[in-house]
Amino acid sequence: MQYFSEENECWNAEKYEGKGAGPKDQAELSNINTVSTYLGGFGEELPNSYFDVVFSISVVEHVPNDVLPAFFDDIARVLKPGGSSYHAIDLYLFDESRKNLDHAHDHGQRVELYQNAYRTGESGMHWRETPKINRDLVFATDFATNSDRTMLLWNKIAPRLSDMRAIAQSVSLKAEWYKAEN
């Protein structure tokens, strides 16, 4: 983020509450305006139609299912017409022999929430390129994945997911939307 702030106005929306193993201490970042809010809360701290770009890395998967529609609607609210929203979303995919497990089913529902985030069109948001995913997606060797070393580190940070990481592969979904010009 520091790199972007040298040439751009940058904002960080974070309450530093430690939710989902998130940060508890505010980082001192120069040239970055940090506001104590979450997208989805429609906080006045984030102005309407102000931002050219909203992006996140490994954030969206931590937004609870019931809050996800508000999260995406709030992104649409703060983006300027013509603005873009980019997200790297972590998913756990199971191989063909395990695709009927409850965990796999839960992730299938999650994929549908991402696919349908702006289906109504009322927000003016559209996929830049619709991901070629569906609820029955299974892991195959043509996916880019996180390294074993990364997975071991994540098991130390969030041990409650260790059992799932033993039977599923972590992949990152590239999600790109844009807000139509008026």
- The C-alpha atoms of residue 78 and residue 73 are separated, in whole angstroms, by 9
**Residues 148, 59: Cα–Cα separation, whole Å:** 21
Identify whether the C-beta of residue 127 lies closer than 8 Å to the C-beta of residue 177.
yes
- What whole-number percentage of the chain has pLDDT above 90? 27
Q: How far apart are CA 126 and CA 119, in angstroms?
A: 8
From 140, 86, 131, select the one nearest 113 (Cα to Cα): 131
Residue carrying structure tokens 């998913």:
91
Provide the β-strand partners of residue 33. 11
Work out whether strand 51-57 and strand 32-35 pair parallel, antiparallel, or are unpaired.
unpaired
Higher pLDDT, 94 or 83: 83
Residue showing tokens 């999600």: 175
Residues in the chain: 182
94 by Cβ neighbours in 10 Å (0-12 / 13-18 / 19+) ranks as buried
- What are the structure tokens assigned to 43, written together? 């906080």
What is the value of pTM for the model shown?
Answer: 0.82
Q: How many DSSP H helices and E strands does the chain contain? A: 5, 6
Select from 85, 88, 91, 182 the least CA-distant residue to 126. 85
Residue 175, CA atoms < 13 Å, CB-side half-sphere: 29
Q: How far apart are CA 39 and CA 34, in angstroms?
A: 13
Spans of all domains in the chain: 48-53+81-179
pLDDT per position as a tens digit, 39-91: 999 999 999 999 999 999 889 988 888 888 899 999 999 999 999 999 998 88
- Across 106-129, average pLDDT: 78
Residue pLDDT, tens place only, 152-174: 888 888 788 888 777 777 878 88
